[in-house]
Structures are given as structure tokens and as C-alpha cells.
């Protein structure tokens, strides 16, 4: 039985990753601070689902708390750390820079230190497609230079990649960074575009469509994201013997370090997303065309050739199918008053003072 630490386990991607690892027979310690960036009720509802499996334990803690992270890695042993906790939000980072730095940079340093002390076999961490910044060479390749981010959030993710490389180089920790592209699906975040559009259409409210409808995104369904992570767990990176310091490849290294894109490799204009959503909901959207906000990029498009070559991965979920599954979840989750539902209307919860659940086998046998 493999032992995993999944940070951000109450978050959108972390919840789905933890669920899949449990299905595969793993033992998961989930960590999250349950902050109020968006309604903690949704986070507790996700945890309630995970808590139905006896091989899941939960620790409410903040990765920016150095003493707590040191104690965690002293008390626990993991085969693999999957680090998905972060302060999300490109626009949020522009108005809350300190929060972003504390979580995404300081917190990540504590994770790296824990992995160093415990000689973790493989650290997988979430980066972001936002690191490509002003780069307009499509599709985005992990071999491209990404030194010109457009938001503080993107800069922190680039910083994470650099910090991870240092620890891979200095201490031999195998590290894999994943640049996710516009992830969507059931249990998604309320601040993400599909969630916002769905709620607004059902409540007959207008939606803001940025860059006057010309935004293109490589929307990637959550199950495809999870599949890539699960396949990589046992594929810890090795040094690249062909790496050339005179022509350095940003995606590989002489250290055990790799960077991959994880995307659908099928960008669509936001108008196409709206059309698919309207067909599924049987309702029309009222669109307000807006300019591109600061920090946003006009288009994203993932080159996933490296990931396909390494783990035979390619996203399998068409946009229409993925949107349909999200809407089905949304309507089920908010019933019976879908049109009146607000962020706080959730059915399940984890207690506010939730702490570390007893280790498997100490009070009951694992499933």
C-alpha cells in the first residue's frame, strides 16, 4: 500500500486526486487549511466524500506554518508527496499579493524542506499554464522560456519550478512539475468560469465575456488531469544525460527534474464553451463583452508531446461531454432550488475543528 500526502485535498484537483489514489488502494493523508477564498462549505463537502474511505485521513493545517509542517514530516512517512495546495487566482494575486506569496512560495518551501528531510521518493507539484505569460508561440511547450509572467500568481508558480530544481539538484529529490491548463469538471471551484457561467445562466443574470469573446482556452477535464498524475506517481524523473548547459532545456535537467504540460491540446474560444453550456442547460446566456483584464492571457494551448511519450497520456474527454458532467453534478448538488442557490448552500460538512484522523489500523481496519 503506497502512502501519499496530498496537500490541498479539500480543493478541486486535490479532492479528485485523493479519490483516485484511494480507489487504487493507496493510503492518503489529506492536508488543507480550509480557508475562505471561496466557500469552505464546498471544501468540507469534498472532505466528507473522501472521509467515507477508511484509508483517508485529514489534517487541517496551513503549509505556510513552518513549525506545523516540520512536525508533520517528522511524525509521518510518505512514499510520494503530491503538492496541490496553493492560493489560486490570477486576478486575486494582484489584489492580495502577500497571501499569494505566503502560500505559493513560503508554503512550497516548507514542502520542499519536508521532502528533503524525509528523502521522499517523488514529489509531484502543481504549476500552471499561466507561467507562459507574454509568450505567444502556440502551442505552449515546456521547452519554451517562461521568464515573462503577467501576474504575481504566475510568478509564484515559476518561482516554485525554480525552487524545486534547486532541491532536485542539491539533494537529489526527484521532482515533477505539472503545468495545468484550464481544469474543469464536477466539484469545481466557484470562482472558475464554467461554475460562474452556469450559475449566472440559471439565475438569468448576465455574464462577463472577456477580450470581447476572443479568449481561447485549452479546457482540460478533471479526470484527464488525475489520470496524468496517477500515471506519473511511479515514474520519478531521472537526470537527462543529454542536457546541455550551453543550450539549457527548461523542461529537463542534469538533476532528477521534469516539467510537463497537462492539457487537452484542443483550445476553444469562450463563445464555444457558452454555446455548449446553453445547449446543456436549455437556456440562453446574456453576454456582456469586456476587455481583457490585467494578468490574463489571450490564449492557451498545451503541447503535451513529452507527457504522451513518457506515460502514453493524451486527454480523452471532449468539451461537450465534460461540460455535461459538470452541469449534471451542479444540478444534483444544488437541488431542489438550483436557480436560487448561492455559494453557501451546501449539504455536507466537516466540523470546523477537524484535525488529524487516527491512522489506518489504529482504531479500525482499512477497507
**How do residues 280-337 score in pLDDT, each as one tens digit?**
999 999 999 888 777 677 778 899 999 999 999 999 999 999 999 999 999 999 874 6
Put simply, whether the predicted model's pTM sits higher than 0.85 gets the answer yes
Domain that holds residue 46: 3-181+221-263+302-316
What percentage of the chain carries pLDDT values higher than 90?
A: 78
Decide if 74 is inside a domain: yes
pLDDT for the residue numbered 360: 36
pLDDT in tens, 36-75: 898 899 999 999 999 999 999 999 999 999 999 999 999 9
pLDDT for the residue numbered 211: 82
Give the whole-angstrom CA distance, residue 11 versus residue 13.
6
pLDDT for the residue numbered 292: 76
What percentage of the chain carries pLDDT values higher than 70?
A: 91
Measured between alpha carbons, how far apart are the two ends of the chain, in Å?
12
pLDDT in tens, 235-284: 999 999 999 999 999 999 999 999 999 999 999 999 999 999 999 999 99
Question: Residues near 342 by Cβ (< 8 Å), separated by ≥ 6?
Answer: none
DSSP category for residue 164: H
Decide if 60 is inside a domain: yes
Tell me the average pLDDT across 88-114: 92
Measured at the CA of 191, the angle between CA 158 and CA 353, to 5 degrees, comes to: 90
pLDDT in tens, 146-204: 999 989 999 999 999 999 999 999 999 999 999 999 999 999 999 999 999 999 999 99
Give the whole-angstrom CA distance, residue 276 versus residue 204.
17
Give the whole-angstrom CA distance, residue 179 versus residue 297.
15
pLDDT for the residue numbered 342: 56
Decide if 37 is inside a domain: yes
Question: Residues near 92 by Cβ (< 8 Å), separated by ≥ 6?
Answer: 37, 99, 100, 153, 191
- As annotated, the active-site residues are 153
pLDDT for the residue numbered 52: 95
pLDDT for the residue numbered 294: 73
pLDDT for the residue numbered 332: 93
Decide if 9 is inside a domain: yes
Decide if 193 is inside a domain: no
Res 358 pLDDT > 60: no
CATH at 71: 3.40.50.720
- Indicate the number of domains in the chain: 1
Decide if 216 is inside a domain: no
Res 347 pLDDT > 60: no
Tell me the average pLDDT across 126-133: 94
Res 109 pLDDT > 50: yes
pLDDT for the residue numbered 278: 96
Decide if 107 is inside a domain: yes
Res 367 pLDDT > 50: no
Question: Residues near 237 by Cβ (< 8 Å), separated by ≥ 6?
Answer: 168, 174, 175, 176, 252, 256, 257, 258
- Are the CB atoms for 10 and 57 separated by under 8 Å? no
Decide if 53 is inside a domain: yes
Amino acid at each position: 500500500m503506497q502512502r501519499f500526502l496530498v496537500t490541498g485535498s479539500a480543493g478541486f484537483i486535490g479532492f479528485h486526486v485523493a479519490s483516485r489514489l484511494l480507489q487504487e488502494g493507496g493510503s492518503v493523508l489529506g492536508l488543507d487549511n480550509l480557508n475562505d477564498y471561496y466557500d469552505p462549505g464546498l471544501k468540507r463537502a469534498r472532505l466528507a466524500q473522501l472521509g467515507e474511505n477508511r484509508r483517508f485521513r485529514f489534517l487541517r493545517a496551513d503549509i505556510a506554518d513552518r513549525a506545523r509542517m516540520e512536525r508533520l514530516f517528522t511524525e509521518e512517512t510518505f512514499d510520494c508527496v503530491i503538492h496541490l495546495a496553493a492560493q489560486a487566482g490570477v486576478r486575486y494575486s494582484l489584489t492580495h499579493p502577500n497571501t499569494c506569496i505566503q502560500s505559493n512560495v513560503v508554503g512550497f518551501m516548507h514542502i520542499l524542506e519536508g521532502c528533503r528531510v524525509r528523502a521522499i521518493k517523488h514529489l509531484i507539484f502543481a504549476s500552471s499554464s499561466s507561467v507562459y505569460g507574454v509568450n505567444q508561440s502556440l502551442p505552449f511547450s515546456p521547452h519554451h522560456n517562461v521568464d515573462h509572467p503577467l501576474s504575481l500568481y504566475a510568478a509564484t508558480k515559476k518561482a516554485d519550478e525554480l525552487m524545486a530544481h534547486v532541491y532536485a539538484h542539491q539533494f537529489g529529490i526527484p521532482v515533477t512539475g505539472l503545468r495545468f491548463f484550464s481544469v474543469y469538471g464536477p466539484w469545481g471551484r466557484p470562482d472558475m468560469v464554467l461554475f460562474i457561467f452556469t450559475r449566472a445562466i440559471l439565475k438569468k443574470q448576465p455574464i462577463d465575456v472577456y477580450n470581447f469573446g476572443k479568449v481561447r482556452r485549452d479546457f482540460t477535464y478533471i479526470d484527464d488531469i488525475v489520470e496524468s498524475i496517477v500515471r506519473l506517481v511511479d515514474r520519478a524523473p531521472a537526470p537527462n544525460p543529454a542536457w546541455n548547459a550551453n543550450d539549457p532545456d527548461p523542461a529537463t535537467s542534469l538533476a532528477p527534474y521534469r516539467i510537463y504540460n497537462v492539457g487537452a491540446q484542443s483550445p476553444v474560444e469562450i463563445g464555444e464553451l457558452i454555446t455548449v453550456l446553453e445547449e446543456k442547460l436549455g437556456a440562453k446566456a446574456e453576454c456582456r463583452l469586456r476587455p481583457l483584464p490585467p494578468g490574463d492571457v489571450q490564449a492557451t494551448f498545451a503541447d503535451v508531446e513529452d507527457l504522451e511519450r513518457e506515460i502514453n497520456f493524451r486527454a480523452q474527454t471532449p468539451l461537450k461531454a465534460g461540460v455535461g458532467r459538470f452541469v449534471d453534478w451542479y444540478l444534483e448538488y444544488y437541488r431542489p432550488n438550483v436557480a436560487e442557490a448561492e455559494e453557501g448552500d451546501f449539504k455536507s460538512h466537516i466540523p470546523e475543528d477537524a484535525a488529524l484522523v487516527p491512522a489506518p489500523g489504529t482504531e479500525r481496519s482499512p477497507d
